[in-house]
Structure 1
Amino acid sequence: MTATAALPTDFLAAVETLIPAERRFDDPLSTLAFGTDASFYRLIPKLVVRVESETEVVSLLKLAHEMRVPVTFRAAGTSLSGQAISDSVLIVLGDNWNGREIRNDGAQIRLQPGVIGANANAVLLPFQRKIGPDPASINAAKIGGIVANNSSGMCCGTAQNSYKTLAGLRVVLADGTVVDSEDAASVQSFRQSHTALLDQLAELGRATRANTELAAKIRHKYRLKNTTGFSLNALVDYDEPLDILNHLMVGSEGTLGFISAVTYDTVPDHPHKASALVVFPDVETCCLAVPVLKQQPVSAVELLDRRSLRSVENKAGMPEWVKALSVNACALLIESRAASQTLLHEQINLIMTSIAHFPVEKQVDFSEDPVVYNQLWKIRKDTFPAIGAVRQTGTTVIIEDVTFPIERLAEGVNRLIQLFDKHAYSEAILFGHALEGNLHFVFTQGFDDPLQVARYETFMQDVTQLVAVEFGGALKAEHGTGRNMAPFVELEWGQEAYQLMWQIKRLLDPQGILNPDVILSEDPQIHLKHLKPMPAADEIVDKCIECGFCEPVCPSNGLTLTPRQRIVVWRDIQAKTRAGIDTSELERLFGYHGVETCAATGLCAQRCPVGINTGDLVRKLRGRDADNTRGANWLAEHFSTGVQGARFMLHVANGAHLMMGTRLLSKTSAAFTKASKGRVPQWTSAMPQPLQRLHLPKPSPDDERPRVVYLAACVSRAMGPAARDQQQEPLLDTTRALLEKAGYQIVFPDDLNNLCCGQPFASKGYAEQAEKKRQETLDALLKASRGGLDPIYCDTSPCTLRMVQELTDDRLQIFDPVRFIRTHLLDKLDFEPQAGPIAVHVTCSTQHLGEAQALIDIARRCASEVVVPEGIHCCGFAGDKGFTTPELNAHALRNLKNAVKTCEEGISTSRTCEIGLSQHGGIDYHGLVYLVNRNSRARAAAVST
């Protein structure tokens, strides 16, 4: 069948028996959300299936093979050439593809395809090893995509990509057959069942190697960085057919099979590094230095033309000298790494001596200082997002990826710049991995006007002719062929090699069901079809480039929508509304999937290349629907009554618990919460008891100890420990004990019970009331701190963040628990670490405040073992979402219990977060101060102050 036809009813019926309903999606919202990847194409799948096992993949492929239903595999969807989308069936990886096995002290690692690349490196870090590929998307991209696209990166080159570091592969072929090259029984079975296939692969290899002209061409092409078409080097590098098969899978973009596990030979991750930036007066000089540097001990050499440097010169934190560079300047960012500092210094001397004879316009010498080299790398990394941030609304950002022979790099750079001018891409910038002649060029493009599409078409015709024909380069170096370069594969490779690729495709996918029109296509216009619209939606999110970098940190990822998907759907709703199309059903679905289940904590902004906080859009939409202004005003005016009301509700819940017991109350409460659509909060066994007393002593005028103003958050004033908690001392009392132990006199602001940072109002969309309460609190803190003379301690990090964001009064020194302990208490306390392991949850606000590592470091002073669960970036409690939308909290923490099973206690810096963490982690979570107070004693000097 063709992908445009409806899916066969027999296929759908069979899928229903294989995959539970909660992992099948065919509604208009879900299919739209999954219809986009990081490329500039869009296809709306008819069915999205989230798979959790290889068995499910095998069954689905057998069905698809039998009924000729096209399927596409999707890992993280960060690919740039349109290879992770489908208008038929999209098979998406679920949670259970995260296995990893370290072998031989880190010399090898076996990974399932759902492991994020950065997480693989995190587990290899203690061995000073890493995987070879290092794509810019490594914090979001998954191993399945990294292998299937043969991704590389800044340091990877051609020697450390997936093809070169592959040690083993487990593959599911188009007919559902599984073969694991590391399992002798699997290999033997496959050789018996697929003898003909292996014989044909062996024959293709023999014929290719015997064709001396073709074999030489293949070897030449892979001397360059090259991901255009299939990995034909497998046919000349190997003669064992299973080795050929495995290496053909690398870079096959899901067109030849499904990769269910990969084993890498890892590479050294040297701990010592230094970076330098050398600016040459022109492109020619810059590029002449590259072959010289290639012979030196460098780990990365990044080229930045003057346009790319100009794109970032006005960004915050950029050195002033960038603006003063000449019009033809061209820079190389150079990094060297070594196993020891002595060796690193030797390498730096060799590098600088080798290029000493080149004229230089500006030079930042090699530095091992993280502040310096991170600033240099920021120049390089900010170039792409800089273009995305300033583009015209409605246009998309395109990043192309080509390779020139290094000996002709200068000529290639200048010819590309001429093409930018010829086709009026004045904003285009050019940078890249110079050691491999691999250049990225970024430009903005509108696709809503036929004239713009025509301009793009003629530009690409010129680019492909220049790179592939005139220079004998590669049209794709590391981003994969996709559907973007599929029409030009034959132009680059020639007819003979191109037909060889088709032979491979038809041999391994005879029905043509695997990711059709990707890498190979019979449609010469496929690169101009299914172009993704980027309509205006809201100025908060209009700069989104839909890269997907935000998705790993989103707590609703896998439950409803991710930030990228929220933006995709909202863009579509706005475009359809302007076109007069009814969007009522889409908006109804978006109300829950897009708005209600968004934690709005803003972690997405930290990962976003252009700094978009999708939570800001969600709060704006909540504000649009916030229709209880009178109630919000009343609560703002009578906040202490509201806190008393919260205590009363906790009293009622506590009484109900005593009467009904844990199991019955949990079940009844969950039913009421669901029936009321969250208006009735859900009770759990981690629910706090009401704070029994609130004792706020006045400071003594005779007390000469240094003062600290203590802002106790409303949750700290209302909530005590849970009934089951072994720690029954309230947070207020423990905090006071710790501060007094360190020699401080505690001062509470006047009218504390009426103070609020405004967060409860802001999260519900009542921005005016939120700002009013925030300002009231800031005024009270200014008075209590004697005009800013005294530091202010806030015991809850989300409230601290709310107070300091956009804070214009620099007299106020407001600290969250982590920063206050780090800056004011460490020199006043001696620590005695406990033996038992401690689980640490770094709240979203702690991350925004830049105190994540400090929290972990403080915990390590207090405990000999600290566990930071992988993949839990936000707990999803989100103020009160844990009570009203408990499925968000449960989903975000679904893996917590297993991750902290060796711990008896957890710590955090937000009382509400600790409720959900305690419930889903199976251990009690407390504020950081409990741990610090228990495992520290006052220094003698501190007592005498």
Structure 2
Amino acid sequence: MLEGKYQKFYEEIIQKIPKKYIFTDKLHTLAYGTDASFYRLIPKIVIKAQHAFHVQEILKLATYLKLSVTFRAAGTSLSGQAISDSILIVTSRDWKGFSISKDRSSITLEPSITGAAANKALAPFKKKIGPDPASIDAAMIGGIAANNASGMCCGVAQNSYKTVESMQIIFYDGTLLDTADIRSKELFRDKHQTFCVSLEQYANEVKANNALKKKITQKFKIKNTCGYSLNALVDFDDVFDILQHLIIGSEGTLGFIKEITYKTVDDHPNKASALVFFTNTHEACDAVAKLKLSTEVQVDAVELMDSKALKSVQDQEGMPEYLKEFDEHVTALLIETRAKTKSKLKEQTKAITELLSSFKTVRKVAFTDKENEYKLFWKIRKGLFPAVGAVRETGTTVIIEDVAFAIEDLAAGTLKLQELFKKHGYHEALIFGHALEGNLHFVFTQDFSTKEEVERYDAFMNDVTQLVAVEYKGSLKAEHGTGRNMAAFVELEWGEQAYKLMKDIKALFDPYNILNPGVIINDDKEAHLKNLKPLPATNPLVDKCIECGFCEPYCPSNVLTFTPRHRIVASREISRLHDEEQDILSATLLKEAYQYDGIETCATCSLCSTVCPVGIDTGSLTKHYRHEQITPKQERLASVISNNFSVTLNAVRFGLKSANMVHTLLGTSTMSSFTQRLREWSGNSIPLWSPTLPKANRVNKNSVKLRSSTKKVVYFSSCINRSMGQSKDDSEQNTLFDTTLELLTKAGYEVIFPEKLESLCCGMPFSSKGFHKQAKEKSDELEKALQIATNQGEYPVLCDTSPCTKKMIESFKSNIKLYEPIAFSLEHLVPHLSIEKVNEPIVIHTTCSSRKMGLHEQFIALANLLSDEVIVPEDVKCCGFAGDRGFNYPELNQSALRHLNDAIPNGVKLAFSTSKTCEIGLSNESGLNYNSIFYLLNQCSK
């Protein structure tokens, strides 16, 4: 319940911004208020800003009422800079426009486009943006710039500070400045004369103060995101250059980045990497220094991994066995070099190898330019942070700190850090990092549940800050931003004079201290020990979650309701309230509120698991909750359906036939409006009809004339395809069953059907709803039938639906060779067919199941055999139809496919996938007739 000024703010802001974007309830403020850090503040109001007007109106009103505001992009920041106990502005995921200059020298980006998406747009021109944080697939440009995030290769030469060209900024009072527009700058100077004069004065005073100027210059020779970018006052004379460079790395405390234009950098296509193992840390660090200071070699990245880092990943799948042979001192450097040409790359690798020959290594130095080989090296490096998260005790958090030493101090600083781990009992702590820049990350687990543990953490941090900032004059934050966990130590690093300058800058940009207070500037010397985030156990399926947010871009419900991170955060809070018996009523109310956002609109596609650093499948958690909610009556009904499956399919056919008869009588327009009103009257309990609803289909395998051949295949047509045919208006009216048989015949196969086909099902319709018992019964029944049909696994099995195939692979215990359409086509059909490509573009959609089976690239390869122009919509991962869920929750399908039409060029008519229900959803939202890829393969083949 809002009170006082917050209630007044709410009453006024809903006049400017639609209510659906504003949240004040306990569930959503908790879930949306969580970021990747180990701090927690719960905002009173969360607003999803769709465009600049929203931000301006919020800031004007917040300034008037003196209410603090925090900006949030992807929430992947690790230092507590994107949380608030007041008003949190979350940038909409759809606020992600971009434009590339004609000469490709710059790219203009809106705040919510991810770094990976920006690089994909630039890739055809062999360009990229400079910043390359490890979170680039999830991190948004607004956050990358606001934190001056860097990464493995960009160092200090290509970070946001060095590559920003211009910026559009919204200030605390709603003023919008475009630093690329002369008129905008003139208006700003006229209306903010005092501001501009003061900023110029600060710059002049710094330039006149030789000691301070020297200190600033020296500190920014290495990576540094601790405090404000004071180098802007030294590096530039123009007030707008100074201003926009101060915004970089300001973590939302000085203004909101509405848009940024980056200078692009070259992305050389030729790469080679070597994983070099040194006898000890000192030897490895000395090698780094020599690589850094040498003028004879070109290195783009040098990643250090200490012995504990290597041991943390040695047992993971795909890791080389030799990692287990090393002693406790071996330290690795992952070295990458890039070049425009292969010959130049060869020269560079030779020069680096010669330079390293004077150092003691455990294995021979060997570079590889083979992608599959150097990807393994980078897999080792990228697996370090999640490796710690995966083995931590439930209830503890993973902390990753981020410091930098001058390169000449790297060896000594690293060794002393390792001594501090021992002193304070962090025996599992490991070190890795961007060694070429003297930038080290150290990762350890921390329990904040007891006073003693908090005191241990405090003592450790005080020793670390003294070591880095005082003894070695390094950076307490190299690339993760100051946030809350280092704000108390900014003055320690910078000294009284520089810190006062930072406070003056903050007051100049934000006179009422409403922009993200407590971040960067915080005089509370114990700020790093307050508002610590609890991570209570909720379910073993998700307890290892570190709430990083890497999953969110892949979730089909990420703008409609919750993401996997939100679901886990809410689940943890519900469990905490229950377990601690603090407030059972609150827990119950929270659980009820969670139903729609957390359970009903989860597609259970499990794509989240494919990008989760610790492999968490939140879809499994949702299925667990659905199982818990099953009543005895529902359980009995599921058993009746399972035991009478052929009758169930007849009922489905009857429903489809009836719907299509009414459609024929009423026409599409009348049918759509009538069924929409019927759904509204029922409180959305009646499934939504659509023009792409299939006609009824019945498979009669007894009518099929089977040929005899030495090549045999068992064809299992899924229950979906056995009951659903083509839609009424689809130009392709042949059934998938008949099309598949025609293809198999062309390829010379003898087709075998399992007995009692009409009653067979993989079990997925049951398992997705939580009916585990019935799902297993149907799966076991199908497996037995296929064992007989395949002659105990002698013949391959083709299933015409990808999700069903994946379910069978996961459930079966026998050695049956199972194929879905993509893999079967490439391995068993294409070699036996003469193919002529269609002379028109096609669009394809890889289902979630196919992606998880590693078939996305194979689907593209298959499509390229059938057409010279294949469109793969980048922003569409899961269609959101989720089996039959799209009929009852069409908003999930609509949300997941909101960018589909933008990605399909005008004139495209042919669209394909490998799952009937996905094809229904895709057809609904695109207006195209999506069909199985088998139709196109059949059309193109002889």
Q: What TM-score range do you get, normalising by the shorter chain?
A: over 0.9
Q: Is 2:231 aligned against 1:233?
A: yes
> Per-residue CA shift, 1:14-33, capped at 9, x if unaligned?
20111101111111110010
The partner residue of 2:708 within 703, 706, 719 is 703
Q: Is 2:928 aligned against 1:923?
A: yes
Query: Which amino acid counterpart does residue 860 of structure 2 have in structure 1?
Result: I
How far 1:304 moved relative to its partner?
0.4
Q: Is the 8 A contact 2:699 2:737 kept in 1?
A: no
Distance (Å, rounded) in 1 between the aligned partners of 2:93 and 2:844: 22
How far 1:518 moved relative to its partner?
0.7
Query: Which amino acid counterpart does residue 366 of structure 2 have in structure 1?
Result: D
How far 1:9 moved relative to its partner?
3.4
How far 1:870 moved relative to its partner?
2.3
* TM-score, normalised via structure 1 length: 0.97
The verdict on how the C-alpha distance between 1:426 and 1:217 changes in structure 2, with shifts beyond 3 A counting, is same
Distance (Å, rounded) in 2 between the aligned partners of 1:542 and 1:887: 29
The partner residue of 1:891 within 885, 891, 895 is 895
How far 1:924 moved relative to its partner?
1.1
> Per-residue CA shift, 1:408-431, capped at 9, x if unaligned?
111111111111111111111110
Structure 1 partner of 2:717: 712
How far 1:56 moved relative to its partner?
1.6
The verdict on how the C-alpha distance between 1:452 and 1:65 changes in structure 2, with shifts beyond 3 A counting, is same
Q: Is the 8 A contact 2:783 2:812 kept in 1?
A: no
Structure 2 partner of 1:830: 834
Q: Is the 8 A contact 2:353 2:365 kept in 1?
A: no
Q: Is 2:616 aligned against 1:612?
A: yes
How far 1:677 moved relative to its partner?
5.8
Distance (Å, rounded) in 2 between the aligned partners of 1:826 and 1:16: 58
Query: Which amino acid counterpart does residue 774 of structure 1 have in structure 2?
Result: S
> Per-residue CA shift, 1:549-581, capped at 9, x if unaligned?
000010111111110010000000001011221
SS at match of 2:152: coil
SS at match of 1:605: helix
The partner residue of 1:803 within 808, 825, 838 is 808
> Per-residue CA shift, 1:293-324, capped at 9, x if unaligned?
22321111100000111111111211111111
> Per-residue CA shift, 1:678-706, capped at 9, x if unaligned?
65322111100101553445675x71251
Distance (Å, rounded) in 1 between the aligned partners of 2:871 and 2:840: 11
Distance (Å, rounded) in 2 between the aligned partners of 1:457 and 1:361: 38
> Per-residue CA shift, 1:491-513, capped at 9, x if unaligned?
00001110110111000111111
How far 1:831 moved relative to its partner?
3.0
How far 1:737 moved relative to its partner?
1.5
Q: Is 2:653 aligned against 1:647?
A: yes
The verdict on how the C-alpha distance between 1:421 and 1:6 changes in structure 2, with shifts beyond 3 A counting, is farther
SS at match of 1:223: coil
Gaps of 5+ in 1: 938-945
SS at match of 1:332: strand
For 1:761-772, what aligned pairs fall within 5 Å after superposition?
Answer: 761-772=766-777
How far 1:143 moved relative to its partner?
0.4
SS at match of 1:13: helix
For 1:142-181, what aligned pairs fall within 5 Å after superposition?
Answer: 142-181=140-179
Q: Is 2:735 aligned against 1:730?
A: yes
Q: Is the 8 A contact 1:7 1:88 kept in 2?
A: no
How far 1:806 moved relative to its partner?
5.3
Q: Is the 8 A contact 1:553 1:874 kept in 2?
A: yes
The partner residue of 1:751 within 749, 756, 770 is 756
Distance (Å, rounded) in 1 between the aligned partners of 2:143 and 2:835: 45
Distance (Å, rounded) in 2 between the aligned partners of 1:672 and 1:563: 32
SS at match of 1:246: helix
Q: Is the 8 A contact 1:301 1:434 kept in 2?
A: yes
SS at match of 2:15: helix
State which drifts further: 247-256 or 57-66: 57-66
For 1:771-786, what aligned pairs fall within 5 Å after superposition?
Answer: 771-786=776-791
Distance (Å, rounded) in 1 between the aligned partners of 2:798 and 2:640: 28
Distance (Å, rounded) in 2 between the aligned partners of 1:704 and 1:616: 42
The verdict on how the C-alpha distance between 1:27 and 1:668 changes in structure 2, with shifts beyond 3 A counting, is farther
For 1:531-570, what aligned pairs fall within 5 Å after superposition?
Answer: 531-570=532-571
Distance (Å, rounded) in 2 between the aligned partners of 1:782 and 1:446: 51
Q: Is the 8 A contact 1:75 1:93 kept in 2?
A: yes
Overall identity of the aligned pairs, in %: 49
The partner residue of 2:911 within 906, 915, 918 is 906
Distance (Å, rounded) in 2 between the aligned partners of 1:510 and 1:391: 43
Query: Which amino acid counterpart does residue 834 of structure 1 have in structure 2?
Result: V
Q: Is 2:90 aligned against 1:86?
A: no
> Per-residue CA shift, 1:353-380, capped at 9, x if unaligned?
0110111112461112222111111111
SS at match of 1:10: helix
Q: Is 2:588 aligned against 1:584?
A: yes
Structure 2 partner of 1:405: 406
How far 1:656 moved relative to its partner?
2.0
State which drifts further: 463-472 or 623-632: 623-632
Q: Is the 8 A contact 1:53 1:96 kept in 2?
A: no
The verdict on how the C-alpha distance between 1:918 and 1:439 changes in structure 2, with shifts beyond 3 A counting, is same
Distance (Å, rounded) in 2 between the aligned partners of 1:122 and 1:779: 46
Q: Is the 8 A contact 1:696 1:748 kept in 2?
A: no
Structure 2 partner of 1:846: 850
Q: Is the 8 A contact 2:13 2:58 kept in 1?
A: yes
Structure 2 partner of 1:385: 386
> Per-residue CA shift, 1:421-477, capped at 9, x if unaligned?
111111111101110110000001111111111111111111111100001000000
Structure 2 partner of 1:596: 600
Distance (Å, rounded) in 2 between the aligned partners of 1:98 and 1:905: 28
The verdict on how the C-alpha distance between 1:363 and 1:806 changes in structure 2, with shifts beyond 3 A counting, is farther
Distance (Å, rounded) in 2 between the aligned partners of 1:364 and 1:689: 63
Q: Is 2:793 aligned against 1:792?
A: no
> Per-residue CA shift, 1:37-75, capped at 9, x if unaligned?
000011111111111111121111111112211111111
Structure 2 partner of 1:357: 358
Q: Is the 8 A contact 2:171 2:254 kept in 1?
A: yes
Gaps of 5+ in 2: none
Q: Is the 8 A contact 1:678 1:883 kept in 2?
A: no
Structure 2 partner of 1:22: 20
The verdict on how the C-alpha distance between 1:545 and 1:364 changes in structure 2, with shifts beyond 3 A counting, is farther
Distance (Å, rounded) in 2 between the aligned partners of 1:728 and 1:216: 77
Distance (Å, rounded) in 1 between the aligned partners of 2:812 and 2:224: 50
Structure 2 partner of 1:472: 473
Runs of 4+ in structure 1 off by over 6 angstroms are: none
* TM-score, normalised via structure 2 length: 0.97
Structure 2 partner of 1:129: 127
Structure 2 partner of 1:662: 668
Query: Which amino acid counterpart does residue 694 of structure 2 have in structure 1?
Result: P
Instruction: Supply the RMSD in Å over aligned alpha carbons.
Output: 1.5
> Per-residue CA shift, 1:701-751, capped at 9, x if unaligned?
x71251111110111000011111111111111111222222222221111
SS at match of 1:18: coil
Structure 2 partner of 1:633: 639
Structure 2 partner of 1:940: none
The verdict on how the C-alpha distance between 1:500 and 1:272 changes in structure 2, with shifts beyond 3 A counting, is same
The partner residue of 2:111 within 113, 121, 125 is 113
Q: Is the 8 A contact 1:553 1:603 kept in 2?
A: yes
SS at match of 1:303: strand
Structure 1 partner of 2:697: 691
